[in-house]
Amino acid sequence: MIAVILSGHGGFASGIEKAIHQVIGEQQQFIALDFPEESTTQQLEAQMRQAIQEIDSDEGIVFLTDLLGGTPFRTASLLSQEREDIQVVTGTNLQMAAEMLLERDELKLIEFRDQAIECGHRGITSLAAEMALKEKTTTAEEHDGI
């Protein structure tokens, strides 16, 4: 199973983790690491290294981070340069994290990374867009004679 380390500024990671527990339940090989204002980059790096040791399954590790260019992203990126089996995805949202945790058993590391990006994009929408999509689907079904 691919191991997942979620990290972000403030309480981002622990907040997503709590929501994940509510939506899909407790997850194995998953750790959430917050980066509070009073923390340092060195402390975060030490926490990330410890998390890698704790949940490494030899099937790869994916860091899910909050902001492109932020400290959690940069720190995870540097760690990924040390091992070929670490991928970093940024711009994490709840839909991406929950869906990918459920699907990680069936995916290889690179597939997980690529699908996480697609899933994150899919989760960004509006009510108007979803209603238009539903209307389009309903209209297409009616024209098919079904």
Quote the pLDDT of residue 138. 76
CATH number of the domain at 115, please: 3.40.50.510
CA distance 79 to 52: 10
The tally of domains found in the chain comes to 1
Mean pLDDT computed over every residue of the chain: 94
**Do 51 and 5 contact (CB within 8 A), yes or no?**
yes
Is the pLDDT at 146 greater than 70? The verdict is: no
Residue 115 belongs to domain spanning: 3-143
The whole-number average pLDDT for the span 38-55 is 98
Q: Detail the DSSP E strand segments found in the chain.
A: 3-9, 30-35, 61-65, 86-90
User: Tens digit of pLDDT for each residue in 87-105?
Assistant: 999 999 999 999 999 999 9
- pLDDT for res 143: 61
